[in-house]
Amino acid sequence: MNPDWNQLGLARRGDESAWRALVERHSPRLLKMVLLITGSHAAAQDIVQETFLDLYHRGPRHSRGSLGGYLSTVAYRMALKEKRRSGNLRALDYAEEPANDPSPLGLTLERERDRAVNEVIQSMEESHRDVLILRFYGGHSYGEIAGICGLPLGTVKSRIFNALKKCRIMLHEKGVTE
């Protein structure tokens, strides 16, 4: 059995350190994924918190597959509901992550690159944007994305291929890539 499932069992029996480890392991990935879908850091934090509350109170009906896949599916669906509820996408209200290069120039360049990548992803049609976010920010396999989105595997593969192609072109036009 996957260690995440064992930790979830311990957490449900009151082991706070097991719960903390699960939250620390999965939160950063979920937060990035949901932030790109909703465009709001505050909404993303709320959705990630609601995802873990759902896990604690209801959780999956079985322990097949990965806990990360379950969490991503719940967070993804909540993020889509939030996006529909709040209307159009909003510009990302950046929450900066610490960078490896502490120089002001390095930080500025990294922020500008990240901003350009996020703008490109946000400008894509929803079907392409969602599969990219799940793949590269959610860390999911093609098969997991197919399950989360309810799409055939071939459709997921072609959408990711076409979305990456469009991203490369758009980033090249913005001068981000060569």
Q: For the chain, where do the domains classified as CATH 1.10.1740.10 start and end?
A: 1-95
Q: What is the pLDDT of residue 1?
A: 53
DSSP readout, 85-142? HH-S-------PPPPS--SHHHHHHHHHHHHHHHHHHHHS-HHHHHHHIIIIIS---H
For 91-148, what is each residue's pLDDT tens digit? 454 444 444 545 777 667 777 777 888 888 888 898 898 898 888 888 888 988 898 8
Q: For the chain, where do the domains classified as CATH 1.10.10.10 start and end?
A: 96-178
Q: Tell me the CATH architecture of domain 96-178.
A: Orthogonal Bundle (1.10)
Q: What is the pLDDT of residue 6?
A: 82
CA distance linking residue 162 with residue 125, whole number of Å: 11
Cα R_g (the chain), whole angstroms: 17
CA distance linking residue 169 with residue 124, whole number of Å: 12
Q: Tell me the CATH architecture of domain 1-95.
A: Orthogonal Bundle (1.10)
More confident residue, 63 or 164: 164
Q: What is the pLDDT of residue 155?
A: 94
Q: What is the mean pLDDT of residues 73-96?
A: 71
Q: What is the pLDDT of residue 88?
A: 53
Residue 70 near residue 60 (C-beta atoms within 8 A): yes
For 5-63, what is each residue's pLDDT tens digit? 888 888 888 888 888 998 999 999 899 888 888 888 888 999 999 998 888 888 777 76
